[in-house]
Amino acid sequence: MQPSEFTPQPGSLYVVATPIGNLRDIGLRALDVLRGVDLVAAEDTRVTQGLLAAYGIRKPLAALHEHNETQVTPRLIDALRSGQRIALVSDAGTPGVSDPGAYLVRAVREAGLPLIPVPGPSALTTALSVAGLASPQWLFHGFLPARAQARRQALEELADLPFHLVFYEAPHRVLESVADMVTVLGKHRTLTLARELTKRYEQVVTLPLDEAAAWLAADPNRLRGEFVLIVSGAQRSGLPDTTAARKVLVTLLQELPASQAARLAARLTGIQRGLLYEWALAMKAEHQGDG
């Protein structure tokens, strides 16, 4: 039996996932919606125009991106109230996943208007589907900050988590990010690098984190395109040498407050920062007791 065509309902916002590279990845329901709506709200109207043209669809488009969403959203809410059917799309993948959309979605929900997801591609799920992760728990971080200091701080906050960490990254920053990952997360991790997914030069490799920079630099083509990076999580078990770690901590505590000493010791030893902080506090208390 053929599934029947889907008809968008008046006054509804459809949040529609679109391909992340290969245009054949568009869903049948996504096409039904794009054909049936009165208006398409798009992150970049030129990009969406290309997608619609590929499927012979002509629709009025309205730009909706992070710089104008607060101005455009009230007009879209009015249009929905008057019965128009609207599709929200981003340049690629699922709106709201490191892409605009959340502001409009919240406004539609607050207005009590119908809000319907039309699922489909996302670089996140596409990369995870071929990463073959050994454990099923992962944390999606999206883009790291562009500035080095903020990026390292963001990584430090993730360093102790025992889950795979999933990042989006732009080609011109991938080398810096990978270098910071080695420094902050420690080299005893693996990295799955998924680039150009669903496109001609698609590539998915898993390698030790501290070999990734050399792998990327070995061929200029490897630095092109769009990237999803998946780093294995912090070790849960007490495999590291805790005696050596305690020695490091004692030395650092002579110069630094407990929190800073714990952070540095975590970087040097690979032991969880929270645990080192507890030890540091205990050592300080012991020391005060001596005095």
227 binds ligand SAM (CB under 6 A): yes
Which residues, in sequence order, are bridge partners of residue 40? Answer: 61, 87
Using CB under 6 A, which of 199, 246, 267, 284 touches ligand SAM? 199
Candidate ranges 7-15, 51-59, 91-99, 215-223; the one touching ligand SAM (CB under 6 A): 91-99
194 binds ligand SAM (CB under 6 A): yes
The footprint of ligand SAM on this chain (CB under 6 A) covers a number of residues equal to 24
**Which is closer to ligand SAM, CB of 197 or CB of 252?**
197
Residues 136, 142, 146, 151, CA torsion sign:
negative
223 binds ligand SAM (CB under 6 A): no
**Which is closer to ligand SAM, CB of 177 or CB of 232?**
177
**Which is closer to ligand SAM, CB of 180 or CB of 196?**
196
92 binds ligand SAM (CB under 6 A): yes
- 3-state SS class at 210: helix
Residue 258 neighbours by CB under 8 Å, 6+ apart: 277, 280, 281, 284
Residue 182 neighbours by CB under 8 Å, 6+ apart: 209, 210, 212, 213
Q: Interface mask (CB under 6 A) for ligand SAM, residues 230-269, using x and -?
A: ----------------------------------------
Using CB under 6 A, which of 198, 206, 235, 242 touches ligand SAM? 198
140 binds ligand SAM (CB under 6 A): no
State the Cα–Cα distance between residues 132 and 214, nearest whole angstrom. 23
Exposure string over 5-27, b if 16+ CB within 10 A, otherwise e: ebebeeebbbbbbbbbbeeebbb
Furthest-apart CA atoms within the chain: distance in Å: 83
173 binds ligand SAM (CB under 6 A): no
State the Cα–Cα distance between residues 92 and 80, nearest whole angstrom. 24
169 binds ligand SAM (CB under 6 A): yes
Residue 51 neighbours by CB under 8 Å, 6+ apart: 18, 19, 23, 26, 89
State the Cα–Cα distance between residues 219 and 145, nearest whole angstrom. 26
What minimum distance in Å lies between the beta carbon of 273 and ligand SAM? 27
Residues 18-37 that bind ligand SAM (CB under 6 A): 20-21
Task: Calculate the CA dihedral of residues 61, 198, 67, 49 and round it to 10 degrees.
Answer: -20
Candidate ranges 59-67, 131-139, 165-173, 208-216; the one touching ligand SAM (CB under 6 A): 165-173
> For binding to ligand SAM (CB under 6 A), which residues are involved?
20-21, 90, 92-94, 97-99, 122-124, 168-170, 194-199, 226-228
